[in-house]
Structure 1
């Protein structure tokens, strides 16, 4: 993506009130700019101008229809670039472009909803003025705005969730929520439910590719959610929505509804059963296309996010451990290679270390905020190591979530996997008949938590059919170990965690 100069955008805003309906329609007939990002200032300025220009209701509706279609084409063409796993925090240039997209989507949501506030159009009016289409487009613009915020690990703008809920309540009041407007593939309820489900999936714990993957998944399978009566809200896998509050749906066992009959609830039980069935079929060799799944479901990261979702929603209750607020510092290094060198040679090696503040902690892990130093290429699902002032060991952690409100801000949620690790080299046969050597980390057994040793490897390194693995451990002596892989404990876009046990029949 190329940067959109803010001065150009400001000039367009100033010129916008002088535009006439004819000038807007003539611009809409022009071909798209070579780069989609170049369209953003003009789209916003013409939407601003349309609010004040003279013209009939049909002319305004047709112009807004064309602006919506053109904006959707531009934004959809930009999403693949946003889905590439960005380094966190997102750089200032990319964040400025995203802010322009969010501005455009908010204007579309407001202006299409304004058609509804003008009341039902006369009989035989232009189809662009249909109430169901206006509500659908407003919901769609708000849902896209939320999804793009998830892509860059940034909290949604204030008021977006509340506006989404209220717009859907309006559709229900007008009995249009089950309608599928002309030219659309989904009903208003499906657009709303898909956005709500994505918000329930803890998007801060997802990479950009995983966000887009789940957005596509929920578009296809959101019909499996089941409404529950208000008296049944406190149950496993049940979420509730208060349309008067600017919040996503909340697990009822974690934060129950504050008053009887407040908001609405739905159960994720049916979709959890569907998720487990799909995971089982994928493990047996089924192709994603056979199950009507996005292609990403066939990857290790895709299967991993489906498994985490099924587990999380199957038991979305209270936290097992209380968090304790802290404010002490810790050093952090990222990536298997960096951890491998630190575990083997100590802090003196050439590994990028950054300083973080631990804001709270529990027996399971930490929440940390970046203070100084280069954090490295961090994404959700990466493995990192941290060392606090009170513990000389480098603890091995998994990045569970990330939040970045601006280019200078980054917070991570870290799950502690082990208090230390043993660096090793994994020898795998290569395609040319040789041997491929991969750096890996061996995690020890932990009583009452993990009965076997585990192996952290880069994602996709170990073929799924490989059961016997050869490990080389360099210490005072060179040790060669043959182990069996028993199961895959965790799969992310960056790493896999494999349970291993000694090979009882070494060759």
Structure 2
């Protein structure tokens, strides 16, 4: 736990630092901020001075976040040690500030100053803003939510007094911050990339208030969650665990958000189709915020893929359909389509070594052994095998957790037992060169045809050329039958050999 400097004796000196221009490096500013985090709790300042100091520290913390976040957008997981420590320090600083708001609200409540209810709502919103930033930065860094984060969030929400009798919320900043935090938590943030998380955070600013929050169960229960305000825990799907009893229980329904998401999906599909028909670049100005109502940060096809995944997740919470079994054995791992492609062709070095610590018929959870020598991201392809004589099992990375820079945990979904290295080239693609890909065999009851998994953006039209170099050279013109999976990193589609090649 980092040590904070003792309270500053002279408020004017701290106010002078806050009024000065921020340092060019946000980490330098963070170091200074952490020296002054105890100021709002100091006995040397009272009343309006405390509120002023806390508000100025909050504004400076938000400024640091806005300048630090781009470093996480461009960094690969696991983060380097210095970046990981800076992110952890910033998250802790934000939670310290949120705790100051919680304490201040507690004092107002103890004095029965209910006449200051509007002020309490403003203070709650500012405290929840700090918690929301901390949650986002933790997720973008690949870390779990810090201990106490949800307890602080629930306490600040309760202190705001914004819950109507019988359920429902007002369109106020405090409701926006709390509902956005809940919506991110049920979006499986550990399965999203830093770019997707940032885009989602910005997108929810415009739609989060459509989410439902109630003191009574929300229908349909299969798509709803419950929250225990007395516990340090995120929303829990009713389909996974029955809700508790008592006045501390709230219910959250993200399904209402899908009305907005479906409208954006339909708009994007129409615009992308129009752009393709007239030959325009689909990475152009389709996502201009003024015309689309969507934030910047993702290409149109990336935003469309993310919105479709969010729509599914908000409609159907993830359930564990197969039992997990604890294991502890080592496996060889290739991470990324190109790395697996090279391993299959015998042109790569030695695969890295990981440890399986639990598995189910549908996937694995693995832990790094001896460090990580490659870049990782949610949604990428990874292949593993237990022995060099065995075939490769092809998986998609469903979630990443990296609470310290020397250790990474991955959740994997199996998509194929076995694969072959092929090259594909699509008609109408921007690049005329062939792209590395993996050919997957049919999977009974799941995938009746052969499939291709390739880098995101490879699938450009229905027809493509497939080349498989083995003992014999195989070349065929093929036709895409349907897109089965699309993430920020890969596309998986079934195909057949084109009966009418052109």
The normalised TM-score by structure 1 is 0.87
Q: Does residue 1:95 correspond to 2:92, yes or no?
A: no
The residue aligned with 1:69 is: 59
Relative to structure 1, is the Cα distance of residues 174 and 293 closer, same or farther in structure 2, using a 3 angstrom cutoff?
closer
Say if 2:40 and 2:100, in contact at 8 Å, map to a contact too.
no
CA drift of 1:486 comes to 2.5
2: distance between equivalents of 1:24 and 1:341? 57
Query: What is the CA distance between 1:262 and its match in structure 2?
Result: 5.5
Q: CA separation in 2, counterparts of 1:52 and 1:411? A: 41
Work out whether residues 449 and 495 of structure 2, in 8 Å CA contact, stay in contact via their aligned partners in 1. Answer: yes
The answer as to 2:189 corresponding to 1:189 is no
The alignment status of 1:224 with 2:246, answered yes or no, reads no
User: Per the alignment, do residues 50 and 19 of structure 1 end up closer, same or farther by CA in structure 2, a change over 3 Å counting?
Assistant: farther
Structure 1 segments unaligned to the other structure (5+ residues) = 1-5, 181-185
CA distance, structure 2, for counterparts of residue 373 and residue 35 of structure 1: 29
CA separation of 1:55/1:179 partners in 2, compared to 1, >3 Å: closer, same or farther?
farther
Do residues 460 (structure 1) and 457 (structure 2) align? yes
Q: 1:258 aligns with which of 236, 241, 244?
A: 244
**Alignment partner for residue 411 of structure 2, among 390, 413, 437?**
413
Q: In the superposition, relative to structure 1, how do residues 192 and 353 fare at CA in structure 2: closer, same or farther (>3 Å)? A: same
- Per the alignment, in what secondary structure is the counterpart of residue 234 of structure 2? coil
Deviations 1:395-447 (A, max 9, x none): 11111101111112111011111111121111346889x93121111111111
Distance 1:198 1:173, change over 3 A: closer
CA–CA separation in structure 2 for the residues paired with 1:146 and 1:204: 11
Q: Deviations over 1:461-487 (max 9, x none)?
A: 333xx2110111112221111111232
| CA deviation vs aligned residue, 1:152-197 (integer Å, no higher than 9, x gap) | 11112111101101210111279799677xxxxx521111000111
Q: Which runs of 5+ in 2 are unaligned?
A: 273-285
Q: In structure 2, how many angstroms separate the alpha carbons of the residues matched to 1:469 and 1:212?
A: 34
Aligned to 2:161: 172
CA–CA distance in 1 between the matches of 2:214 and 2:108?
32
RMSD: 2.9
With over 3 angstroms needed to count, the CA separation of the structure-2 counterparts of 1:281 and 1:20, relative to structure 1, is same
1:68 and 1:334, CA in 2 relative to 1: closer, same or farther beyond 3 A?
A: same
Q: Deviations over 1:268-299 (max 9, x none)?
A: 22223432332232122263433411234544
Q: 2:100 aligns with which of 108, 111, 127?
A: 111
Choose which of 338, 354, 357 in structure 1 pairs with 2:355.
357
- Spell out the pairing of 1:326-341 with structure 2 (5 A cutoff): 326-341=327-342
CA distance in 2, matches of 1:39, 1:401: 32
Q: Distance in 1 between matches of 2:30 and 2:151?
A: 26
Whether 1:48 and 2:38 are equivalent positions in the alignment is yes
Q: 1:190 to 1:154 in 2, by over 3 A?
A: same
Secondary structure of the structure 1 residue equivalent to 2:344? helix
Residue 245 of structure 2 aligns to a residue whose secondary structure is: coil
Residue equivalent to 2:258: 272
TM-score by length of 2: 0.88
Q: 1:234 to 1:278 in 2, by over 3 A?
A: closer
Q: Aligned-pair distance for 1:353?
A: 1.4
What's the secondary structure of 1:213's corresponding residue? helix
User: CA–CA distance in 2 between the matches of 1:173 and 1:280?
Assistant: 34
**Aligned partners of 2:93, 2:214: CA distance in 1, in Å?**
35
- Shift, 1:306, TM fit: 1.9
Equivalent pair of 1:353/1:373 in contact (CA under 8 Å): no
Aligned partners of 1:436 and 1:459: how far apart in 2?
Answer: 15
